[in-house]
Structure 1
């Protein structure tokens, strides 16, 4: 399967894809009885737009040279990316039950050497954007027209290496680089904005020479418009989309929990969460 901007889905279809990503992430979490499902539920809409609207890719050839690159800087979000790769047909659905198991192609933290479609081994926060800068520069020098997308967390805005990469991308005029910031305002130790003064987000990136947008990351219409604007922007600058998302989106009883960074889901609650998602499944 090849997905490109000439074969974009309607927003209703994208809602269905996002629902599928959420459901698959919950099923994987149920296998282990744990996982970063709060992040997966929150970022599912972003991943649906990425994989089924924006990216040029081939599910049957994840190393196709002409593909857009999608980098997961936040390695602990791997469960979300696996769900998207399964939804896109890169990974088979019958591997859901192997999540986090010995010899699985889907370890709990993303590793490029294990998983088709996983471009980098993320997890050392603050490294992904620097790698993306190098990839984008390399593709430019080879004369390619591919885009490099880098999905990072709001916590990475507190890393000095991130801002070195931000300045480098501007210096090299990397108009083929699109950074996506999942801003859910949650870190292991509490709200991101209380850990470090990271805001205001969009004006800061703009001041560094980026084309910056800030949107509701759980609003499909807003996401599609932002991705299109980023890709079609005529300036020779890098682009960033700051996506304000809700942890555990789609499962209200998990959304309301005080601690959602590694949300606690009891054994009898996985089926309850799946039933709630199924009740609200898009047509």
Structure 2
């Protein structure tokens, strides 16, 4: 098992830029993706895989590893891009084996059967958190001190299975369970507020007896890391509240013509759009400095 890396905030920010850059090129090459939600979750995913997860992409069956479940499985290309950057696969290999008829190791939705770095196959929304509850409870039964992280979308919380899982996580005192909500305020056809309002989300989660951490800007690496730093220590012999991190993000973050636009929930990107997106990403990086 590899040890967690002690990357600095600037190093993590640089990594987030690279993941966005590679992700845009990946989506262009495979012809289809869900860039809006894939771009909004970058800081959370980068912080997790490059700093906080006790996880090795080359040793995916280690029983003591932390588990990261991407419940919003339609955004799997962000994880594939991270796996590539961490050395599990080359980008060319992923493109070559993306949704091919005979060797489809990678697909539009995450599939544990073909990609070993994926913890749970996802696509039908509302499944990841219930499975994560089972994983976290299993850790206690096995007397193991690993964490189970699950990343959901805010629109995904329309699914009732999540609320059953929220009750269960608190009931069993799963202090090793961490829910991260990518709260980008948009769904496929409009705003979450208009389609099915989930606010005040923090108050609802607290009412379900969860410890809640609000991240005002979930695309600010320092704020994301500050939330991760507040996670309680894991001790399988002790019960406690599970933790929910509400990351307020921007759909399409980093690309000016995608930001806050629900029409970029899904679809491909043309060559001219790719060039515009990469230029916007570079501009954002320079402005931040």
TM-score (norm 1): 0.92
Q: Is the 8 A contact 2:209 2:241 kept in 1?
A: yes
Aligned to 2:278: 274
SS in 1 for 2:251: coil
Change in Cα spacing, 1:127 to 1:108, as seen in structure 2 (3 Å) is: same
User: Deviation of residue 37 (structure 1)?
Assistant: 1.3
Aligned to 1:34: 32
Q: Is the 8 A contact 2:23 2:78 kept in 1?
A: yes
User: Deviation of residue 256 (structure 1)?
Assistant: 5.8
SS in 2 for 1:241: strand
User: Deviation of residue 20 (structure 1)?
Assistant: 1.8
SS in 2 for 1:143: coil
Aligned to 1:236: 240
Aligned to 2:226: 225
SS in 2 for 1:254: coil
Aligned to 1:245: 249
User: Deviation of residue 280 (structure 1)?
Assistant: 4.9
Between stretches 265-274 and 190-199, larger displacement belongs to 265-274
SS in 2 for 1:246: coil
Q: How many pairs are equivalent?
A: 281
Distance 2:46 2:210 in 1: 24
1:163-191: CA deviations, max 9, x gaps?
10000001110000000111111112211
SS in 2 for 1:259: helix
SS in 2 for 1:149: strand
Q: Is the 8 A contact 2:189 2:262 kept in 1?
A: no
User: Deviation of residue 101 (structure 1)?
Assistant: 3.7
Aligned to 2:76: 78
Change in Cα spacing, 1:132 to 1:107, as seen in structure 2 (3 Å) is: same
RMSD: 2.1
User: Deviation of residue 264 (structure 1)?
Assistant: 6.1
User: Mind listing any 5+ residue stretches in structure 1 that lack a counterpart?
Assistant: none
Q: Is the 8 A contact 1:251 1:276 kept in 2?
A: yes
Pairing partner for 1:261 from 265, 270, 278: 265
Q: Is the 8 A contact 1:154 1:185 kept in 2?
A: yes
Change in Cα spacing, 1:27 to 1:231, as seen in structure 2 (3 Å) is: farther
User: Deviation of residue 267 (structure 1)?
Assistant: 3.3
Distance 1:258 1:209 in 2: 32
Distance 1:195 1:261 in 2: 15
Aligned to 1:91: 89
Change in Cα spacing, 1:204 to 1:256, as seen in structure 2 (3 Å) is: closer
Q: Is the 8 A contact 1:73 1:151 kept in 2?
A: yes
1:76-113: CA deviations, max 9, x gaps?
01111111222222333332433634023221111111
Distance 2:185 2:277 in 1: 23
1:237-275: CA deviations, max 9, x gaps?
100101111111111122264623226633311123223
Q: Is the 8 A contact 1:173 1:236 kept in 2?
A: yes
Residues 36-115 of structure 1 mapped to structure 2, 5 A cutoff: 36-98=34-96, 100-102=98-100, 103-115=103-115
Distance 1:202 1:232 in 2: 22
SS in 1 for 2:168: helix
TM-score (norm 2): 0.90
Change in Cα spacing, 1:101 to 1:54, as seen in structure 2 (3 Å) is: same
